[in-house]
Structure 1
Amino acid sequence: MAGFLDNFRWPECECIDWSERRNAVASIVAGVLFFTGWWIMIDAAVVYPKPEQLNHAFHTCGVFSTLAFFMINAVSNAQVRGDSYSDGCLGRTGARIWLFIGFMLMFGSLIASMWILFGAYVTQNTNVYPGLAVFFQNALIFFRLWFLSRSLHSAGSAWLKLLLTCDGSGTKDICWHHSPWN
């Protein structure tokens, strides 16, 4: 079941060459997701300023999610593989530990936001919008990280060249059967 989409091909749009603009578009979409998450939370904080409506401690999830976002973005794939980072106190192991802590913070923030949504708002039969704002802030920051990592890191510049010119002819056909995971 692991490789059931290996031979799947998306229909190609011949009007736009995405190979040169892929990273820019992915960065813009990821930035919009991050901005939208914080915008929703700021809106909820302005609309519900009283601690009885939106407890100020609930902002902690978004702060930790943002901190985790910066921690994860600080580590490149080359550092995790050990290609470019050998100095420092722990080298490749330190980069992996840093990345692991960042992912733990990110998932913990997302789970805590769900707990806040259901524990403080849905089960209490109060206005649910502040809880939804906390959840969507963390979910959008999480999906921003997921979207950016799927767009940039899993098909980085070397892998993107491999995927786009897999047969060496210079054609722009995507060949999944030559992926680095096989």
Structure 2
Amino acid sequence: MSGCLDHVECHRPEWCEIGEKRNAVASIAAGVLFFAGWWIMIDAAAVYPHQKDLLHAYHTCGVVSTLAFFMVNAVSAGQVRGDSYTTGCIGQTGARIWLFIGFLLAFAALIGSCWILFAAYVVNQDKDRDPYPGVAIFMQNFLIFVGGLVFKFGRTEELWE
């Protein structure tokens, strides 16, 4: 899974070589994206505490996106390929199903947040209603989604051995 772009040539400057620090850089970048997503949503919830501005049910997308973040990153590429963890209740097939459900939840949360943004804040725009809560909901889910992808595909398992 993590080797899908290993054959792509990208010449970087000498000072930008990360080498064995790849896992640390990817983990920090994913953590910053995850943190930024939740920070934006917490800011929107603090600025707009009333139901008429920001429905509390809209937080469900962020919770589902966070759950998907953990589900996607709970299985390693070796488990999906069948290199490691071939025994147990469900084995390789279970790892693939778990990863598929995680990505399905991540995309569903992202699409749901996009729907909330446009249906509740862009199309039905009142003069008194600020669109920032809708943008915050979408940005939260987008940043968590990108953070999950960075954490899943930005790290390499060769450095673990």
- TM-score when normalising by structure 2: 0.88
Q: Relative to structure 1, is the Cα distance of residues 95 and 47 closer, same or farther in structure 2, using a 3 angstrom cutoff?
A: same
CA distance in 2, matches of 1:156, 1:50: 46
2:142 aligns with 139
Q: Relative to structure 1, is the Cα distance of residues 87 and 6 closer, same or farther in structure 2, using a 3 angstrom cutoff?
A: closer
Aligned residues: 152
In the TM superposition, residue 49 of structure 1 has moved relative to its aligned partner by 0.3
1:150 to 137, 148, 153: 153
CA distance in 2, matches of 1:84, 1:116: 40
Q: Relative to structure 1, is the Cα distance of residues 156 and 118 closer, same or farther in structure 2, using a 3 angstrom cutoff?
A: same
In the TM superposition, residue 156 of structure 1 has moved relative to its aligned partner by 3.7
Ranges of 4+ aligned residues in structure 1 off by more than 3 Å: 5-9
Write 1 or 2 for the structure with the bigger share of helix.
2
Once the two structures are aligned, what percentage of the paired residues are identical?
A: 60
* Gapped regions of structure 2 (runs ≥ 5): none
CA distance in 2, matches of 1:71, 1:50: 32
1:61 aligns with 61
Largest Rg, 1 or 2: 1
1:83 aligns with 83
RMSD: 1.8
Question: Is structure 2 residue 106 aligned with structure 1 residue 102?
Answer: no
Q: Which amino acid aligns with 1:51?
A: Q
- TM-score when normalising by structure 1: 0.78
